[in-house]
Structure 1
């Protein structure tokens, strides 16, 4: 029995990570943009991407001209700040000042880390791919920073403490509940 209903093409992969991306030009003020279209592209070397609309996005020009950005992964407790940063333009508003977020110098790029975000990923643009409504900024990961209080006793990220969340067709949703681990099915599946 076919229980499927066919719809037209759309972007229904969910959840997608919700992050704050910082950018800055030499001598200029930093900006923050909320991005939900981001992910991993390669593991060695580590490569990630963000997709940004070229029209009407102040951060787009900062990233395009500087060739670098920082992906800042927020906690669920920061969802209102993240939403705000996605609804106002950095051309008109100093998002650091308005939100109370703290810019911290990065190690390799001009764009700042956001101190309050538990994870920060410094990236240098390797390639820009224009796809239509968005341009994809493929970024080589230069460094990853963790707030000390989100690491477990072995120095690994504790996702219960980080509380990452995703964006699902207009809603923010928690994604931190563990339901398995890599390779567990080999122990669970009957042979």
Structure 2
């Protein structure tokens, strides 16, 4: 199979397209759209976002040490894109996109009420990398929309219509293909386990 060789570049796709909210006391809170995000640790729960220094939210996050990662779905698609191409220096993004600042439980930065999941984060480390600086943060609290909870108390994130970003375009997650560990899971047996052996009928031979 032939391959076309390209110069090094960002080709790790698809990736989440999230809205990161932040704010300083006495100022209008802001939203920045980010795709350079990811989980970095399970215990303690930690994630990272990478932000260019020239972005309006960069100084806010660096000074406060707090931000909220808000997952996005189809209903938030326009706001997700708009908040990524407009600056908080010029617009009140919550007001322009008719979004609601949501009081966080563990930090001062607000979340976005319309988001299905709000991940409250506190910065632990800043890595200067090049075009972007990476904010490595600990997850302090997660807020989820109760309309996605089932009667057993399970959060069904698959029903949230989450969106993803791939090479300059947005997509929904599409059809579920499997779950973690399905490739090694034992297949359920179709045999009945009553403890009794199935009866066998003796064949009768015709008399010659």
* TM-score interval for Structure 1 and Structure 2 normalised by the shorter chain: over 0.9
TM-score (norm 1): 0.93
Tell whether 2:4 aligns with 1:5. yes
Q: Assess, with a 3 A threshold, how the Cα gap between structure 1 residues 150 and 176 changes in structure 2: closer, same or farther.
A: farther
Q: SS state of the match for residue 125, structure 1?
A: strand
Unaligned ranges ≥5, structure 1: none
How is 1:74-113 mapped onto 2 (pairs within 5 angstroms)?
Answer: 74-113=72-111
1:185 alignment partner, SS class: coil
Aligned equivalent of 1:145: 143
Using the TM superposition, name which of 42-51 and 71-80 deviates more: 71-80
Q: CA deviation at 1:176?
A: 4.5
State the SS of the aligned residue for 1:33.
strand
Any unmatched runs of 5+ in structure 2?
Answer: 188-208
TM-score normalized with structure 2 length:
0.86
Tell me the SS of whatever aligns to 1:60: helix
- After TM superposition, the runs of 4+ consecutive aligned structure 1 residues lying more than 4 A away are none
Partner of 2:199: none
The RMSD of aligned alpha carbons is 1.4
Distance (whole Å) between structure 2 residues aligned to residue 152 and residue 133 of structure 1:
43
Could you list the per-position Cα deviations for residues 112-134 of structure 1 after superposition, in whole angstroms to 9, with x for gaps in the alignment? Answer: 11110010000000000011000
131-140 vs 154-163, greater mean Cα deviation: 154-163
Structure (1 or 2) with the larger CA radius of gyration: 2
